Amino acid sequence: MINHIDVSSMLRKSVCELYSNLVTRPTGAAVRCEIEQELDRIGDRALTVIDFSHVGLLDFSCADEIVAKLLLQYVSIDTPRREVYFLFRGISESHMDAIETVLERHKLALVTQHPDGQSRLIGIVDVDHRRAWEVICQLGAGASADVANATGVSREEAERTLDNLWRRRLVIRHDDGYVAVGSATAPVENTRLDA
């Protein structure tokens, strides 16, 4: 199931009808609570597009409250809350500094999609994991053998890497392989999560 959450709508719903800037920690917390309530309605396994397109300013405290705390709840190396994947859209250059800072602080990563449909992995990801994500993204879907062949690592190492990316919700386990969140060759909107 694919869901779309417009962050500016959550802001207007929780704070003020005429407000389009995300500044102050209480504002960010209120917006995150609205997003969490929306996520609670979608079930245990889903892909959610978090859309910042209509957000003006985004300060560090709101980026921490919305982006980092949301990811920390649903994306984890250990035990995530549920199997929820995120694709972030509408992130402008003015938003990027705050988002990259909080991702670095919390050692997180996310996938952002540009208006031209190209996806980019941002945040803290080591070179091997980034390369595996890029291989899966280029293929549209693939298995550990595909990553091993493309990167020159053992199949076991490729499987560990893909499992780590899955736990961080940067790739989706699908049938007997993986699909990169935001893959340009296998658009997210066409990826069935209930298979």
- For 95, half-sphere exposure in the C-beta direction (CA atoms, 13 angstrom radius) is 24
Domains and CATH numbers, the chain: 1-124 (3.30.750), 125-195 (1.10.10.10)
Per-residue model confidence (pLDDT) at position 14:
73
pTM (predicted TM-score): 0.87
Per-residue model confidence (pLDDT) at position 185:
37
Per-residue model confidence (pLDDT) at position 79:
62
Task: Read off the pLDDT of each residue in 176-193 and give the average, rounded to a whole number.
Answer: 63
Per-residue model confidence (pLDDT) at position 44:
80
d(CA 74, CA 69): 9
* First CA to last CA distance, the chain: 11
* pLDDT reading at 66 higher than 60: yes
* pLDDT bracket for residue 78 (50, 70, 90): low
Task: Give the helix/strand (H/E) hosting 98.
Answer: helix 93-106
Give the residue with greater pLDDT, 115 vs 148: 148
* pLDDT reading at 38 higher than 80: yes
Tokens of 61: 């405290």
